[in-house]
Amino acid sequence: RENIDDLLFKDNAAIPSLEAGITGNLNKQVYMEESSLKDFSDTEVVKRGFVVGKALNIDGADFDKGTLTFTLDKDVEIPYYMTEEGKEYPALLVGKYDEAKRDADYLPITYTTGDEFTLSADIDGRGTYFVLHVENLLKGVGLDWEETPEEPVLLGAAPEAAEIYLNGPVPVPVTVTTDEFTISEDYDRDGVDSDDELGDQIVSLDLDALMALVTGEDSTETVFGTIWMYLYDSNPVLQDSDFDGKADDADGNSHNNVFKGKLTGYLPVNNAEYTFDYLQFFQPLERYNEKIASASLVMANTIYVDSGFIYSDGTTYKDSAEIEEIEDLMEFHGFSDVIDYKLKDGYTSEKINMARYTDDDISEIGIGHHTVTYQNETKTILAVVIRGTNGTIEEWSSNFDMGDGKAGDDAVLHKGFHRTEQRIRDFVDQYTAAYGLNGAEGLTYWITGHSRGAALSNLLAADLAEDGKKVVAYTFATPATTTASKAEREGKTYDGIFNFANTCDFVTYVPLTEWDFGHYGTTYYMDIAEKQLQAEWKAQTVGEILNAEDAEKEKEREYNALKQSIIKLATSRIAGSGCATRGQLYDHIDDQWISEEEKGYISDRAMKFCVIEENTHWYELDKYTLWTSYGFLFQMGAEVLAGSDEEVANVMSLMPEFWNSEYSGVLLLLLGDVIWEDFWFLPKATLNDTLVGDGHAMATYYVLLDHYDF
């Protein structure tokens, strides 16, 4: 159980277990995970019930032999085949598929009945395994299970056949209209003729040999016949056979929509992979989908500067194995009319006109659309990828501008996030109108982002869902966004929104839960230590080692994130020191005397959150009285994190005035809790890295998603 993918225990009609004779602990050396091979999720394969439960990959230590057992769900109706002698046999087999060789073998089973039905097969090592439902296979290709044909039939012989079959772990049915399908023409208009897509290699599946395996006899009394299957290059009736957004004529591997390589950014993920499969949007979007999640994470990462994906599987785009621009990644996966929109720059074209924004509530998005048709159903996917904080004072200031919740549209929303989201929504609305998408069939909004981008994604998804739009959103390292009640923000309206929070990521704790903040949708909380993933994290995130010094640093490097207990202590100090509610954030409750010079240290941003009165009494030693608030100090914190050298110096010059301030002292204690040093002597980069370092890194979220069961 320890090394079996949790997904194999969830919504699975065939739960696997393995026995093998190897040296050492099998649970530590062999890993079983759900197969991502597209053929198993093919609509016709699923609809016709060729496979029971989930297929799985077995990997890890080499072993020569073992016994693989599947325990079937009680709802599975066991098919029995009765011979002429009246003997009954379960018409189930275990299949093994070698994707590299594109070769399937079927293995006889032993079985037990009683409270549970189990079937077991002797296997010969690593590979992809599944349970074949022989009755459904025969019925699915049009044969009568109860009565064998008078003579063997040959199925799938094109072009006369109404249905042809593609080779896979099981025969993959493709229905063709014979009066339109011509083997020598480009039936699906993907730039490749059908005969070139199918190729000239055919393999056969002997159905009578399958029945011999079912009964355990060397030969069988049945005469079902043979299925011909093409060792195809691409599907002749689909322009994009693997639904990864690349047409078959431009796809180096049209069988595969799993991409492997290196995720680049603040920290690398050296052995990363993601699945890009538009068919996933035909699945129920209110359920967590690991394939959409993996693609979302890669897109949310790529919109950052100096971040992207380096492919190691032979994939190239624009003659390069590396993609590091969001426009390129989206266009690579088939999105049209892709725009990289920066709010501070505005955007002007023949179809869209958006003025530039000059205040702090800004961001950047990648946007594009893709239309996909499958099994006579069409969907238009509109993707919006929102960048997280880019390190500027403007965006940090907006992060800390939470609003007092007392009036207006921001009453239950984080003010800075909401105002930025509304600007993004304006652009999205202009975009959908400009490109004729408002009436598009099956329009689905796919939204993703990390950090500040996650908060904006959370609000944008909620905003669209409230307007009745079909929405799916995956947000990573998500700050809280709303003070709507828990019942309201987690209601059915928002069931397509999924948020991910590392419990050792400071960003995911603000604004504080003590102020009743939370997220729209479902939020999953994860922890590297809880899953004992420190070694995995370190191996995945090792940087380039060029010399002995690099090697020594890497040897000493460990996962460095704030402990959950420390974060909770720090946030509780704020809530317990005169700021127990959101409304108290901007109460002017603390007064300090300051000089004319010190007044000049206060930035225009911080001025919005304080009151300055000129002193008139002879006993007041300084010229002004400064009435501050928590909002004021948060803004000054933003200047320490992201301001210019002058802004940082001004904050440092002003801070001595606050040593005797009750609630300002609490903030100093908070920083002491978090950093354990006198933070005034820390360089700005160190403070930033301490607060949002390893625990906040996209690489950390990749490792967490790779090992958690949602």
End-to-end CA distance of the chain: 17
Res 664: pLDDT: 55
Residue keyed to tokens 């006109």: 353
Dihedral, 451, 454, 459, 464 alpha carbons, nearest 10:
160
Res 535: pLDDT: 94
SS3 assignment, position 341:
strand
Rounded-to-integer distance, Cα 170 and Cα 94, Å: 11
Q: Report helix angle 630-642 to 662-675, nearest 10.
A: 40
DSSP conformational letter for 357: P
Other residues' Cβ atoms within 10 Å of the Cβ of residue 606: 25
Q: Along the chain (710 residues), what's the average pLDDT of each consecutive run of 10 residues?
A: 68 90 68 82 86 90 84 95 88 92 91 95 92 95 81 72 84 72 70 85 91 82 86 87 92 89 96 95 91 97 98 96 98 98 98 96 98 90 97 95 83 96 98 96 98 98 98 98 96 97 95 96 96 95 88 90 86 82 87 90 93 82 86 88 91 78 55 45 47 87 90
Q: Which residues pair with 523 in a beta bridge?
A: 499
161 close to 210: Cβ distance less than 8 angstroms: no
Half-sphere exposure of 184 (CA within 13 A, CB side): 0
Burial readout 388-406 (b: 16 or more C-beta within 10 A, e: otherwise): bbbeebbbbbbbbbbbbbe
Secondary structure element (H or E) that encloses residue 195, with its range: helix 194-198
Q: Which of 381, 386, 384 is nearest to 470 (CA)?
A: 381
CA 635 to chain centre: 32
- 153-155 vs 225-230, strand pairing mode: parallel
The whole model's pTM is what? 0.84
Dihedral, 113, 118, 121, 127 alpha carbons, nearest 10:
170
Rounded-to-integer distance, Cα 42 and Cα 173, Å: 9
Rounded-to-integer distance, Cα 330 and Cα 335, Å: 5
Alpha carbon distances (Å) from 658 to 391, 596, 642: 26, 16, 21
DSSP string, 112-175: E-SSSEEEEEEE-SSEEEEEEEHHHHHHHTT--SSS--SS-EEE--TTT-SEEEE-SSS-EEEE
